[in-house]
Structure 1
């Protein structure tokens, strides 16, 4: 494939996704509703006080919609899955010397 066709196709794809993103942004009212919600949440957080994300007496702070929507089991499953994936990748790299980089093969 010629280089100009590759760049042309990539430019066309970028333009299409940019147009779809702009349409979605304007169809939902733009940033104004999110900015209002964000400022209210920040002001409410400042008024109520803060604290650490992990407090042994209180637990781990989870976002309100997850906690109030009854999705704690799904959230916990996702955290466990990502934890196991990270540990598995760590063990794999340690045991087999990486993902084909060949530098640790002399070990």
Structure 2
């Protein structure tokens, strides 16, 4: 298994807070040599898990909030890439649609 498959497995276990916190630690690379997962498409993967209600959606919002805060503080080696992903028009539209549909998790981001 490669890093992308491991990330997918961890994201599949987001209903448990401990896996959300572990994923947050693994995603918080401060230096390029600390990268565990490729940042490409990361925000889209997390936003896709915001629909619905429950712990998994809340933990996906937690991860997005955590990563966004670290990127804005300059604490992520891929912070600029992450912010670029957040600014993609399609992603903004998806988040807006989810908020308007009543997704509390999407509104938390």
TM-score, normalisation: structure 1: 0.23
Identify, as 1 or 2, the structure richer in helix: 1
Higher relative contact order (CA 8 A, sep 6+): 2
Which TM-score applies when normalising by structure 2?
Answer: 0.23
Rg larger in structure:
1
